[in-house]
């Protein structure tokens, strides 16, 4: 696919259809020939009128669908999800404790079918996958097995500016072993002035530092930039140096084809609420390479254990000694939630009608279309460094604000998401998008993440997004507001010296605790509750 570019496909079609690539008609024609077009109808699109921050005066009618491009944060609800959950509750109501082993998705076994479907999505054998807990908990559990520092090998590698939770996990694991992140954490850095990790730089770190490294924690798709790493190549290089490789698949699963067995990683963990649409707080997934659990594992395998990791055959004998389940299931601690598994099943049933490989064909075009439209509507004239309001170069009278796409241009190095940096401050742009019922998200210090998700987004969605952004950039009032910098510049500068800066650092005081939060409470938070 790398020899081909989406633009070449669009050019050929434009000629054939006698339409301009950037016309609404062209987007509609792409939708008409989209083999996945009908999948959209299996999901619930929020109505603009139900969303916070929408300017109701702009609505033509109450049923207008939101322009949802935020699957990198929280995927849309499958229409069958409510039915599945209701069935679980009905089963519980009708059978009480017998719902553990009888009826619809028996609670005690509720993870087994979804785990088999999940194994297909991550390119693993079912026995190498378990569904349990949530991502951060699972990273800790897996590291409690795989991060066993010795005097010589005590370091963990992670990318600089990793998602905060991953950073907290590795730093706290290091401290948990009585070590210090100052000595035992290696951060993979981008080169000055660049946004993306270079493979040769990662390989160099592995080569230089490898003998002291215990674990490399790699993102498959980096949450901020959308960069897809070549996990197979990096894993091979790391393992050659005796490093154990763990992969965070949060932004990769359901987004890009994953082949954990082929890549031969040691372990992996992911959440399911992004591209896999299992709902906020959905059940997490883990992969443990079968080499670690072969032959039923061992009761003394270094791991934190609980009764649900015990073999089903002896689980209810309530013995004092752990008898491990087969494969990754031995890592389970507690009994599974049938509600969470039923929610995940709703989405896996849809993904099972096709495959992430097949969807990749559409994703290549859909994200390529977004890239093409952005590049042609907002050609890059300025960089993020020239965007300070006091900077004379940053002057709208010179034309449209520009947009830099920091996600790799190579379709083989990205999934659905594009990360955008504007030549004007981010927050007011996001506010204007929200007023118009557009859902995407921003990440401080400077990125807007937009993900057209192939299973439910259309080419028309992409066209609408770019048209709305154009309208926003065009508006004179907005132009004035764009200069009311809201502290972003400070954040931008600060970030490069502070690896833990997250969204909330500038705004958290404005927002009450999640248990008491209401839409109006958080108005001052600029809609940035959308933080995953």
Ligand X SMILES: Cc1ncc(COP(=O)(O)O)c(C=O)c1O
For 419, the enclosing helix (H) or strand (E) is strand 418-422
Is 271 near ligand X (CB under 6 A)?
yes
Task: Indicate whether 250 belongs to the interface with ligand X (CB under 6 A).
Answer: yes
What is the DSSP secondary structure assignment for residue 525, as one 8-state letter?
G
Alpha-carbon gap, residue 445 to 525, rounded angstroms: 15
Residue from 377, 340, 364 nearest 416 by CA: 364
Cβ at position 203, least distance to ligand X in Å? 22
Return the HEC string of 103-153.
Answer: CCCCHHHCCHHHHHHHHHHHCCCHHHEEECCCHHHHHHHHHHHHCCCCCCC
d(CA 489, CA 50): 32
Looking at residue 378, the DSSP 8-state letter turns out to be S
Q: Which is nearer to ligand X, 332 or 382 (CB)?
A: 332
Q: Tell me whether residue 248 or residue 371 sits nearer to ligand X (CB atom).
A: 248
Q: Give me the numbers of helices (H) and strands (E) for the chain, helices first please.
A: 17, 15
For ligand X, which residue has the nearest CB? 136
Does the footprint of ligand X cover residue 248 (CB under 6 A)? yes
Under rule CB under 6 A, how many of the chain's residues touch ligand X? 12
CB of 163 to ligand X, least distance (A): 3
Nearer to ligand X among residue 27 and residue 250 (C-beta): 250
Work out whether 504 is an interface residue with ligand X (CB under 6 A).
Answer: no
Name which of 26 and 163 has its Cβ closer to ligand X. 163
Question: For the window 114-143, what string marks contact with ligand X as x by the rule CB under 6 A?
Answer: --------------------xxx-------
3-state percent breakdown (helix, strand, coil) of the chain, nearest 5: 45, 10, 45
Strands 447-450 and 418-422: antiparallel
Judge contact between 412 and 2, C-beta under 8 A: yes
223 binds ligand X (CB under 6 A): yes
Min CB(246)–ligand X separation in Å:
12
Minimum CB distance to ligand X, residue 64 (Å): 28
Nearest residue to 454 (alpha-carbon basis) of 195, 177, 69? 69
Which residue, 348 or 478, has its beta carbon nearer to ligand X? 348
Q: Which stretch binds ligand X (CB under 6 A): 30-38, 59-67, 244-252, 409-417?
A: 244-252
163-222: contacts with ligand X (CB under 6 A):
163, 165-166
CB nearer to ligand X: give 124 or 269: 269
Contact status, residue 197 vs residue 229, Cβ threshold 8 Å? yes
Closer by beta carbon to ligand X, 139 or else 365: 139
Binding site for ligand X (CB under 6 A): 134-136, 163, 165-166, 223, 248, 250-251, 271, 532
């Amino acid at each position: 696919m790398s020899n081909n570019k989406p633009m070449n496909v669009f050019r050929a079609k434009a000629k054939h259809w006698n339409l301009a690539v950037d016309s609404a008609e062209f987007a509609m024609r792409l939708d008409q020939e989209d083999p996945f077009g009908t999948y959209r109808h299996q999901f619930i699109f929020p109505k603009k009128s139900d969303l916070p921050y929408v300017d109701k005066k702009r609505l033509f009618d109450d049923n207008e669908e939101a322009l949802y491009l935020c699957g990198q944060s929280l995927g849309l609800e499958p229409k069958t999800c409510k039915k599945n959950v209701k069935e679980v509750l009905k089963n519980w109501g009708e059978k009480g404790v017998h719902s553990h082993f009888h009826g619809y998705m028996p609670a005690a076994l509720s993870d087994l079918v979804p785990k088999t479907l999940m194994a297909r999505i991550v390119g693993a054998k079912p026995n190498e996958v378990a569904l349990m807990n949530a991502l951060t908990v699972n990273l800790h559990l897996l590291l409690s097995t795989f991060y066993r520092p010795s005097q010589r090998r005590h370091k963990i590698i992670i990318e600089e500016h990793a998602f905060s939770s991953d950073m907290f996990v590795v730093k706290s694991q290091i401290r948990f072993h009585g070590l210090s992140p100052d000595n035992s954490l290696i951060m993979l850095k981008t080169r000055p002035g660049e946004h993306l990790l270079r493979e040769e730089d990662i390989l160099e770190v592995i080569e230089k530092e490898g003998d002291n490294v215990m674990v490399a924690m790699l993102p498959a798709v980096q949450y901020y930039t959308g960069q897809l790493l070549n996990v197979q190549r990096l894993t091979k290089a790391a393992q050659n140096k005796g490093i154990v490789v763990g992969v965070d698949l949060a932004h990769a699963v359901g987004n890009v084809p994953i082949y954990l067995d082929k890549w031969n990683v040691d372990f992996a963990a992911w959440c399911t609420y992004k591209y896999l649409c299992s709902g906020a707080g959905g059940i997490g997934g883990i992969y443990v390479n079968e080499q670690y659990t072969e032959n039923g594992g061992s009761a003394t395998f270094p791991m934190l254990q609980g009764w649900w990791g015990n073999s089903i055959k002896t689980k209810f004998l309530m013995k004092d000694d752990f008898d491990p389940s087969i494969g990754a299931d031995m890592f389970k601690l507690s009994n599974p939630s049938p509600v969470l598994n039923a929610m995940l099943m709703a989405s896996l049933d849809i993904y099972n009608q096709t495959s992430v490989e097949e969807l990749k064909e559409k994703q290549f075009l859909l994200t390529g279309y977004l890239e093409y439209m952005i590049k042609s509507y907002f050609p890059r004239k300025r960089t993020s460094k020239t965007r300070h309001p006091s900077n004379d170069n940053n002057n709208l009278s010179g034309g449209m604000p520009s947009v830099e796409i920091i996600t790799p241009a190579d379709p083989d190095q990205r999934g659905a998401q594009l990360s955008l940096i504007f030549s004007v401050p981010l927050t007011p742009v996001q506010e204007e998008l929200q007023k118009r019922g557009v859902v995407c998200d921003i990440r401080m210090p400077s990125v807007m993440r937009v993900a057209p998700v192939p299973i439910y987004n259309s080419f028309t969605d992409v066209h609408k997004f770019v048209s709305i952004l154009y309208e926003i950039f065009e508006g004179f009032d907005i132009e004035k507001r764009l200069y009311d910098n809201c502290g972003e510049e400070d954040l931008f500068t600060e970030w490069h010296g502070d690896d833990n800066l997250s969204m909330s650092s500038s705004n958290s005081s404005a927002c009450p605790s999640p248990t008491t939060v209401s839409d109006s409470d958080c108005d001052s938070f600029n809609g940035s509750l959308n933080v995953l």
